[in-house]
Amino acid sequence: MLKLIGAALVLFAGTMIGFAQGARFAERPRQIRHLLHALQRLETEIGYGQTPLPEALQRVAQAIPKPLSALFAQVASALRSGTGVTVRECWERTFADGWPSTSMRGGEREALLRLGATLGGSGKEDQLKHVRLAMLQLQAEETAAREEQQKYEKLSRSLGVLGAALVVILML
Buried b (16+ CB within 10 A) or exposed e, 2-15: eeeeebeebbeebb
129 falls within a domain: yes
116-156 pLDDT per residue, tens: 888 877 777 888 888 899 999 999 999 999 998 888 888 99
Q: Work out how many domains the chain is built from and give that number.
A: 1
DSSP result, 108-166: HHHHHHHHHHHTTSS-HHHHHHHHHHHHHHHHHHHHHHHHHHHHHHHHHHHHHHHHHHH
63 within a domain of the structure (yes/no):
no
| Domain assignment present for 87 | no
In a domain, residue 65? The reply is no
Distance of CA 24 to the CA centre of its chain: 11
Q: Is the confidence at residue 47, as pLDDT, over 90?
A: no
pLDDT at residue 112 in the model? 86
Helix orientation angle between 106-118 and 2-44, rounded to the nearest 10 degrees = 30
Look over the chain and give the mean of its residue pLDDT values, rounded to a whole number: 87
Q: Is 56 part of a structural domain of the chain?
A: no
How far, rounded to the nearest angstrom, does the alpha carbon of residue 23 sit from its chain's CA centroid?
13
The band of 7, judged by pLDDT with boundaries at 50, 70 and 90, is: confident
Average pLDDT for residues 26-45, to the nearest whole number? 90
The answer to whether position 160 is within a domain reads: yes
Assigned domain for 95 exists: no
167 located within any domain: yes
**For residue range 60-110, what is the model confidence (pLDDT) as tens digits?**
999 899 888 888 888 888 888 877 778 888 888 888 888 888 888 888 888
Q: Is the pLDDT of residue 17 over 90?
A: yes
Q: How much is the pLDDT for 143?
A: 92
Q: Which range of residues forms the domain containing residue 140?
A: 2-51+101-171
pLDDT classification of 34: cutoffs 50, 70, 90: very high
